[in-house]
Amino acid sequence: MKSIITYITESKWTSDVKKCKTFGEFFFLYTGYNSIDELTKDDYEAYDYGYTFNQEGASLEEFKKWFETVKDNKITSIKFQDINGHGGVSFKMGKEVFDMDFDDSE
C-alpha cells in the first residue's frame, strides 16, 4: 500500500499544480472554473473560498476584486504534504502562505 505522500507525489493533479506559475492558474485548477465570473455566491459560501484563499470575511464581490489584483502574481515554494491523512498543498504568493487540502479522486 502506498503512503499518502507517495500517492500525492505521483498524482496527475500534483503534476498539474507544479506547472502553475501564477495564482490565477492555480485558482482555476483548484476550483475547476475557467473564469472568475463562474464563481457563484452559493459556491463561494459552500466551499468557503474566502477562508481557503486567506480572504476570510470578504464578500463574493470583494473576493472577485481581490482575485483580479492578484491573479497574475507568481506562486513559489509549492509543497505537497499529508494533512491529517489527506492530501494538502502549500505555496507562497509574495510573503503570503496558502495551505489547503485537496481531493485527487478523479
pLDDT, tens digit, 9 for 90 and up, residues 33-50: 999 999 999 999 999 999
Q: Could you give the angle at which helices 23-31 and 12-19 cross, rounded to 10 degrees?
A: 160
Reported as a single tens digit per residue, the pLDDT across 57-106 is 999 999 999 999 999 999 999 888 765 666 778 899 999 999 887 654 44
Distance of CA 66 to the CA centre of its chain: 15
Q: Among 11, 23, 12, 18, which residue's Cα sits nearest to residue 55?
A: 23
The rounded distance, in Å, linking the Cα atoms of 23 and 21 is 7
Q: Report the pLDDT value the prediction gives residue 5, as an integer from 0 to 100.
A: 55
The model's pTM is 0.79
